[in-house]
Amino acid sequence: MNVLNRLERALGRHYIRDLMKYLCIAMLGVFILEFLPLPKSAVNLLYFDRDLILRGEIWRVITFVFLPPTGSLLWILFSLYFYYFLGSSLERHWGSARFNIYYGIGIVGNIIAGFLTGYTTNTYLNTSLLLAFAVLYPEMEFLLFFFLPVKVKWIGWAWGAYLVYQLIVMGWAYKAALVFSFLPFVLFFGKQAYLQMKMDLRRFKRWININLLKK
């Protein structure tokens, strides 16, 4: 936390309020551009490619952040609303400066991963917002599939397990993007997430033992 306090003081007033709103608007804009009869795909112009960056297309260092999470017209609005909800909730909890620091560290981490492997993605950085939310608000309930109430901490557990699976099976570039995307999560929540995990595992074991005794 001392590191975060120093970063926040160094940032001063140089931060963006409602950062997630602008990111979601940019992602929606890129999504719309994909449906227009342009000479070249917007996504192809914006994704991170180390070789193209070194040839002079330096905008790709940052524009990968604006790539939409899906190409589906059905899911784009839901996905962006969910990202906005997570990001704005974290910003209200921390303040704009600290949320900028969280997301900024993730962007820098992804850029490092991109130069190491040649490619990176914003997918895991945005996923880390869900895990951060789950640590801060573990007992809040979401309607899974719009009708099944599930506590956020269990959704966080499920996503965490899926990310571990991806870390095992995905290629080197995606592994690096995943690891570097979660640098801000570790910096902000490393100890807290570990303690929460121990407590949840203890409760889960107790629940299993109780149900086994009933049988």
For residue 25, the domain's CATH number is 1.20.1540.10
Number of domains, the chain: 1
pLDDT-above-90 percentage for the chain? 57
Q: Which own/partner contact pairs does 169-175 have at CB distance under 8 Å and 24+ positions apart? A: 172/117, 173/113, 173/117, 173/118, 173/119, 173/120, 174/121
Per-residue pLDDT of the chain (215 residues; tens, 9 = 90+): 577 777 778 777 888 999 999 999 999 999 999 988 888 899 999 999 999 999 999 999 999 999 999 888 888 999 999 999 999 999 999 999 999 999 999 999 999 999 999 999 999 999 999 999 998 998 888 877 667 788 888 888 898 899 999 999 999 989 999 999 999 998 888 766 666 666 767 776 776 676 665 55
Residue 92: which domain range?
Answer: 2-214
**Side-chain-facing half-sphere of 78: CA atoms under 13 Å:** 9
pTM (global) more than 0.75: yes
pLDDT digits over 35-55, tens only? 888 888 999 999 999 999 999
